[in-house]
Structure 1
Amino acid sequence: MKTTRRSFIQKTALLSGVFSLGFDWFESKANAGIIQQMNPVLDANRFNAFLSIENTGKVILYSPNPEIGQGIKTAFPIVVAEELDVDWKQVEVRQANLDTQLFERQVTGGSGALKHSWERLRKAGATARQMLVQAAAQQWGVDASSCKTSKGFVIGPNKGQKLAYGALVDAASKLPVPSEVTYKSRSDYQLIGSFVKGVDNYKVLTGKPQYGLDTQKSGMVVAQIVRPPAFGSTLVSFDAAEVKKMPGIIDVVSFKNKVAVVGKSTWEVMQARKKLVCSYSDTSNLESDSTHQKWFDEGMKTDKVKVERKDGDFHAAIAKAAKVIEATYECPFLSHTPMEPMNFFADVRPGSILLAGPTQVPQSAQKAVATLLGVPENTIQVELTKMGGGFGRRLNNDYALEAAELSSIIKMPVKVMWTREDDMTGGIYRPAVRYHFKAGLNEKGEMIAFYLRGVGLNAGNSTRQDNFPVGAIDNVLIESFNYNSAITTGPWRAPITNFLASAEQSFLDEVAVAAGKDPIQMRLDWLQKVKTNPVGKITYEPDRFIEVIKQVAEKAKWGKKGANVHQGFSVYFSHLSYVAQVAEAKIVDGEAKVTHLTAVTDCGEVINRSGAENQVIGGIIDGYGHAMFSKLSFDKGVPQQKNFDTYKLIRGNEIPTVEAHFVNNGIAPTGLGEPALPPTGGAVANALFAATKKRLYRQPFAGPDNANL
């Protein structure tokens, strides 16, 4: 496989002893040069992205994307090291800070980082390898095609011809960059697809990484912010007279409906905050759970919907159907609950601003602060810290804006710290949604009509109108309706599809039962129809759907586990990846219990098998736990769950065993951090139905609405 180099515009400095290959994230460009001194190399602001090789043989890669536990900081260098053909022990990866001129898509979200950078990373490693080979060939006076590489060495055709990469960096840097490079064959991969430990594993286990909460800067003060307890309420007044007298307290200031307590230490600020007296506007007319149920009911009846998709004539087809199946599904608001609560540091000074903290979108944070304070973006530096989870919560910039605005008011560098209660009651939540499905079957049990209406609270379009089973059904109608709620919401792991998949896959299981068909075979029949005669636009590849379905049926021994093993099936396409799952439930002491889940994932090329398995297993456990246990409820705008004593997350002894398998197809890698979560709720609900003959229409499944499973 060959790739052609385009023009490269980045300048490189000169230094004997270090070979630096910069590669452009915008165009997959590459160039080589010798760097004048190591300090500029360590300054990510000076380079777009680069691979450097020291004369000791060490390979250094700067990773531009925030690491949030998705393993990108390990996966990126694996790709480069594979194409470079270097011993993994020689690789070191370092986190880059925000640089909007040199990097593109410094974002952790949407499971898109590796897909975006796959070709760029391969080209960086392959180009460096080819130049090192050329340098060695010239030194030996042989043809470069007669040389090969292995674990950081170039090996010549004659006995004794072997040179380490570090010994070749000077000569390689003086060569022209090749216009074409050849990638390694998949059959020669040694790192890609293998099990590689995370590059930060040891540091995490020994407490060395610096998270946002660990940030310490010269002259820094600490602040906590009191926000209105109810969504939709406003601050009327506050009394800080006693608070200002307390030890270590520097100031108490209000801004944008909030009151900040500023002090010398976290403990002193926390104690003072308890003494702060605030009064708020009347909350009697604010949103409660009953308000949301009323809105859902209205949304299901209104004719002011947006038609998201229309194939054929659904109404005519459903009128002729021999059998009609209908079902309604609902999910609550959910908190992200990352283990590290929100926090951010800001030092706002005339002409320059330093921001530091855990954010999934550093450039977005930079832009938001620039707009807030009316300053040029290029005056704002953003340092990226390690993150203790995010799941989409850190795609929002509210906590970064709080730190920047507060620093601009008090004229001091400040770290704003949220408590767990702040984190759980201050938004930003997974939107609550209700779905209504309707299907029409003909006399043969074939689906001839399919209907979906999604009603969301701050969810926008709560449907995915081009996804399967659309494309297999002749008559389809998909509608959406949205209510604007005062409760702040935002992306939550696998946005929209995290519950849509659960509802849809549960409904399709109900359709299969009504049609007297095996749920797996029914989907396979539909997908065969899509292959030969798709109806309208589709966004998925039926062959890849078929493959994960067939493999999971085989791996899970579908229908062959015995009388007390009740299986449920689910399959979904999201973030360009395909995941099929089979959940198993057993009756234990008179109660249904999910004991095992099997998943087969097609995410294209698996870069790090260890990281990939962790992502799939973690996504399934996350999806299972939230489907079973988690819920936020509201009374007059006030969240009723404020900590883990009332907002339940899955416990260790409640986790079923999970096995993860992958389709080995060599396709360019796609998303993996999110796709395993959406199908989990449906597989679990279908397994529990198989065990109890009771359908589950409302999450959480273990909540009062689904008592006595």
Structure 2
Amino acid sequence: MKHTFSRRSFLKTSALASGGMLIGFNLFNSCKSDVEPPVDLSKLNYKDFNAYIKISPEGKVTIYSVNPEIGQGVKTSMPMIIAEELDVAWDDVYVVQAPLDTENYSGQVAGGSQSIRRSWQPLRETGATAKQMLINAAAAQWGVDANTCSAKAGVITNANGDTLGYGDVVEAAAALDVPEDVTLKNPKDFTIIGKGKGNVDIDKIITGKPLFGLDYKEEGMVYASVLRPPAFGQILESYDASKAKELPGVIDVITIGEKARTLLSEGKPNWSVKLSTTDKVVVIGKTTWDVIKGKKAITATWKTDSDLESTENHDEKLLDLLNGKKFRTRRKDGNVKKAFANADKVLERVYESTFLPHNTMEPMNFFANVTPEKVHLVGPTQTPEAAENAVASLLGRSVDDIHVDLTRMGGGFGRRLYNDYVMEAAEISDAIKKPVKMISTREDDMTTGVYRPASKYKIAASIKDGKLTGYYLKEACVNGNMYGLIPNFFPAGAIENYQVDSTRLNSNITVGAWRAPYTNFLASAEQCFFDELAEELGVDRVKLHMDLLENVKNNPDPKIEYSPERLQGVLKMVVEKSNWGKVADGVYQGLSVYYCHNTHVAEVADVMIENGVPVVKKVTCAIDCGIVVNPLGAMNQAKGGVLDGIGHAMYADFSFKDGVPSANNFNSYQLIRMAQTPKVDVHFIESDIAPTGLGEPTLPPVGAAVANAIYKAMGIRLTKFPYINNMNTESSIAG
């Protein structure tokens, strides 16, 4: 694999490599806490090769972690990519967190399962180029042709068997021109990529070492807790903070909100989440507990803002929209109307999902220190550049004044794409002229956050002479799905007459991306419908999918985003690995196959009935994500997605009444419990294709796999999340 580029283009490519790359923690600190490091990194004189790599005279390599780490494991897998092409021993690699740096990096974002996919090639070129520079320096020292030299595990060897370590030539290499021609490894020669590596930060995580935003402290820092409206659509009328101010540890009580309102009134960007139009009451104190107690002591009066969108009757209004005529057509093939008019039968179902909070393990928090010289921000955000821009606009400062340091995040799931909490911290610090840590409680996060939008899908299919002739999918979603429907995913291209439409219901509820956005429920709806459709047609479920995918192969469409061959591959694998159709009596299986976030996945759920209740016993998962960089990390991501998907499909229920959320903590909102987690078997398609993402793709299909298995066990078609809460309601059961 030859790649030729100039110094200028290399520098550009190097910057682009940050699109989801290395992450902030130190590989070196994966050692047990009582073991001294073999090298004191602070005493090494490193030589920069580019924005990502430093090499010391001792041959030790530091790789900068550019993108945010939200638990998806890129802090391990992304350094592996550079280390592979650099040909350095894995034990000699260290990773340090880079701050936000828009000059040297681009795309410092964590989201959409795009990190490895977008940075695969640039990262490889970064490592390979640095290696070639080291080889060139060694060849010059020996007076030989660089083409006669090779490198392995940080050692360069010439044709005579002479050797030099990377550290021996690092000074000379760093002064050389960037080579115009580098060779990337053949995947069959990988020695690091494809080998399971444990999470290098695991010891710090399990021993409670400071890694997360909540751990960050500075001298003179105070704490803040924000009292927000108890219901969406309300604004602050008055408040009494006298009792709060009497509490020991409470320093002051202030209000914020004016700066955010000014941004909105000026029509400036709202950074992807609707900014509150109300004042918020803020308690400033010496400790976290002080400000939480202080906030509870405040008496506030709120009133409904008549200018805001309605927060009521979402279910009823979504159904009205779904049955209405105002839609945006996302894709239209053939003539669905004609196909339906000529059909022998039309099968139609409505599928419904609820709002969902994100419930990250670490609640929202951020540190801010606003001074005349600069604005220093530290904490967990999936979009640090957006945070920088938002705070600059909020405070009327130059972006050059803003400095953002990243911490590890205790979960994101899309919530930390939005920087409302960062803006709050900055506005508080600006008001009190002190460094401050804004902290939220679990109740704050669950009741005043950003939510997966409630949505409903109406899916209809026409049947003529025992054949599928038309397919029509309509979506109605609160505030619109972030990306709309995915019109070029399966079954697009497989059915001659095909149409996808969408509409939205405006609401003051703040909604946004939630893990596997736009597909987290759509996959369940479509794959449940196809299971019922196969039964209606009297054809085998697997054969129906295989035949439809053959249609796509026989009629190529450049707009189709999925690969029919790769979907067939995971379908064949999951049928084999799950022992499909050959399980013991009392075990009922459901199938689902789906493409999203650039990855192809098929899943089979095994369900049994225990005491009249369906119990998921096992999920078999087949995945085609191209080359698997870190099999151990990939396995963990895949299993986590499956379990999260089961939990929310089966148990998670959330709604609003008069703008007030139905739950504020885990005593009234059920996540999946340990005892409810099934065995998950994960299998990867062997591939030499560039890798794609894994943080999200295993979640969407599993809801349908479970529902289809429950149908076989109990004879009911579930159409509404969450299944357990809705199994006995007529609106959630079809057939």
Shorter-chain TM range is: over 0.9
Q: Structure 1 residue 688: deviation in Å? A: 1.2
Amino acid at match of 2:533: V
Aligned to 2:262: none
Moved more, 572-581 or 173-182: 173-182
Deviation (angstroms), 1:191: 0.9
Inter-CA distance 108–556: structure 2 relative to 1 (3 Å threshold): same
Equivalent position of 1:2 in the other structure: 2
Q: Does 1:530 align with 2:552?
A: yes
- The corresponding residue for 2:192 is 191
- Pairing 1:23–2:14 present: yes
CA gap 1:707/1:73 in 2 versus in 1, 3 angstroms = same
Structure-to-structure mapping, 1:23-422, within 5 angstroms: 23-25=14-16, 49-159=51-161, 161-256=162-257, 257-282=279-304, 291-422=313-444
Q: Cα gap change, 1:607/1:260 in structure 2, threshold over 3 Å: closer, same or farther?
A: same
Deviation sequence 1:228-279 (CA, Å, 0-9, x none): 1000011110001222122121111112221001111111112222211001
- Asked whether 1:633 is paired with 2:655, we answer yes
Classify 1:518/1:208 alpha carbon distance in 2 versus 1 (closer, same or farther; 3 Å): same
> 1:578 & 1:372 partners in 2: Cα distance?
41
Aligned 1:608-687 pairs, distance under 5 A: 608-687=630-709
Q: 1:190 to 1:146 in 2, by over 3 A?
A: same
Q: CA deviation at 1:659?
A: 1.2
Contact 1:696 1:706 in 2 (8 A): no
Deviation, structure 1 residue 594: 1.1
Equivalent-residue separation in structure 2 for 1:156 and 1:303 (angstroms): 73
Unaligned runs of 5+ in 1: 12-20, 29-37
Partner of 1:17: none
Deviates more, 1:294-303 or 1:281-290: 281-290
Normalised TM-score (structure 1)? 0.93
| TM-score, length of structure 2 as denominator length | 0.89
Establish whether residue 450 from structure 1 lines up as the match of residue 441 from structure 2.
Answer: no
C-alpha spacing 1:200/1:506, structure 2 compared with 1 (3 Å): same
What's 1:483 paired with? 505
Q: Deviations over 1:513-539 (max 9, x none)?
A: 111111111111011111112468322
Secondary structure of 2:724's aligned partner? coil
Q: Residue 344 and residue 696 in structure 1: after superposition, are their counterparts in 2 closer, same or farther (change >3 A)?
A: same
Corresponding residue SS for 1:242: helix
Looking at structure 1, the residues matched to 208 and 630 of structure 2 have their Cα atoms a distance apart, in angstroms, of: 24
Q: Which amino acid aligns with 1:355?
A: L
Asked whether the 8 Å contact 2:607–2:710 carries over to 1, the reply is yes
Deviates most, 221-230 or 201-210: 201-210
Shift of 1:91: 0.4
CA contact (8 A) 1:585 1:594 kept: yes
Q: Which moved more, 1:142-151 or 1:191-200?
A: 142-151
1:649/1:48 CA distance change after superposition, 3 Å: farther
Query: In the alignment, what sits opposite 2:269?
Result: none
**Distance (Å, rounded) in 1 between the aligned partners of 2:358 and 2:45:** 34
Q: Which moved more, 1:317-326 or 1:161-170?
A: 161-170
In the TM superposition, residue 565 of structure 1 has moved relative to its aligned partner by 2.2
Amino acid at match of 2:188: S
Conservation of the 8 A alpha-carbon contact between 1:22 and 1:51: no
1:682/1:198 Cα in 2 relative to 1: closer, same or farther (>3 Å)? same
Structure 1 SS opposite 2:522: helix
- The 1:203–1:312 alpha-carbon spacing in structure 2 relative to 1, beyond 3 Å, is same
Say which is worse superposed, 585-594 or 119-128, in terms of deviation: 585-594
**Distance change >3 Å, CA 468–CA 704, structure 1 → 2:** closer
Question: What secondary structure, in the 3-state scheme, does the structure 1 residue paired with 2:313 have?
Answer: helix
Alignment-mate amino acid for residue 49 of structure 1: A
Kindly tell me: are residues 191 and 360 of structure 1, through their superposed partners in 2, closer, same or farther at Cα, counting changes over 3 Å?
same
Letter in 2 for 1:505: Q
Where does residue 26 of structure 2 map in the other structure?
Answer: none
1:23 aligned partner, one-letter code: S
Give the whole-Å Cα distance in 2 for the aligned partners of 1:120 and 1:697. Answer: 44
Is the 1:311–1:536 contact (alpha carbons within 8 Å) kept by the matching residues of 2? no
Structure 1 residue 569 corresponds to structure 2 residue 586? no
The Cα shift of 1:40 comes to 13
* Partners of 1:135 and 1:168 within 8 A in 2: yes
Q: Is the 8 A contact 2:7 2:179 kept in 1?
A: no
Measure how far apart 1:693 and its partner are.
Answer: 1.3
Contact 1:227 1:259 in 2 (8 A): yes
Moved more, 148-157 or 552-561: 148-157
1: CA distance, partners of 2:566 / 2:634: 18
In structure 2, C-alpha distance between the alignment counterparts of 1:102 and 1:286, rounded to whole Å: 42
CA pair 471-432 structure 1, distance change in 2 beyond 3 A: same
Q: For 2:417 and 2:241, how far apart are their aligned partners in 1?
A: 33
Indicate which of 423, 432, 438 corresponds to 2:454. Answer: 432
Unmatched runs of 5 consecutive residues or more in structure 2: 20-40, 258-278
Q: What amino acid is the match of 1:62?
A: Y
Contact residue 439 and residue 449 of structure 1 kept, 8 A: yes
CA distance in 2, matches of 1:73, 1:294: 45
CA contact (8 A) 2:607 2:618 kept: yes
Rounded Cα–Cα distance in structure 2 between residues aligned with 1:57 and 1:40:
13
Note the C-alpha offset of 1:199.
2.0
Q: SS of the residue aligned with 2:723?
A: coil
- Alpha-carbon separation, structure 2, partners of 1:243 and 1:464: 50
| Partner AA of 2:134 in structure 1 | L
In structure 1, what is the Cα distance between the partners aligned to 2:570 and 2:347? 27
What do the CA deviations read for 1:92-145 (whole angstroms, capped 9, x no partner)?
011111011111000001111212211111112112222222333344444433
Instruction: Tell me if the contact between 2:227 and 2:281 (Cα under 8 Å) persists in the aligned partners.
Output: yes
Contact 2:6 2:178 in 1 (8 A): no
CA distance in 1, matches of 2:683, 2:498: 33
1:406 partner amino acid: I
CA displacement at 1:319 relative to structure 2? 1.7
Q: CA RMSD in A?
A: 2.5
Check if 1:468 corresponds to 2:490. yes
AA aligned opposite 2:361: M
AA partner of residue 128 (structure 2):
A
Alpha carbons of structure 1 residues 705 and 232: separation in structure 2 relative to 1, 3 Å: farther
Q: Identify the residue that residue 28 of structure 2 maps to in structure 1.
A: none
Shift of 1:221: 0.8
Distance 1:310 1:25, change over 3 A: closer
**Residue identity in the other structure for 1:218:** E
Give the whole-Å Cα distance in 1 for the aligned partners of 2:369 and 2:173.
43
- The CA distance in 2 between the partners of 1:119 and 1:287, in whole Å, is 45
Deviates more, 1:52-61 or 1:200-209: 200-209
- Secondary structure at 2:377's aligned position in 1? strand
**Mapped contact 2:348–2:460 kept (Cα < 8 A):** yes
Q: What amino acid maps onto 2:235 in structure 1? A: T
Larger CA deviation: 359-368 vs 271-280: 271-280
Please state how far the C-alpha of 1:446 moved relative to its aligned partner: 2.0
Q: Counterpart amino acid of 2:7?
A: S
Amino acid at match of 1:7: R
Q: 1:9 to 1:583 in 2, by over 3 A?
A: closer
User: Structure 1 residues 543, 640: CA separation in 2 closer, same or farther (over 3 Å shift)?
Assistant: same
CA distance in 1, matches of 2:666, 2:308: 25
Conserved 8 A contact 2:18-2:108: no
Q: Per the alignment, in what secondary structure is the counterpart of residue 237 of structure 1? A: strand
Where 2:666 maps in the other structure, the secondary structure is: coil
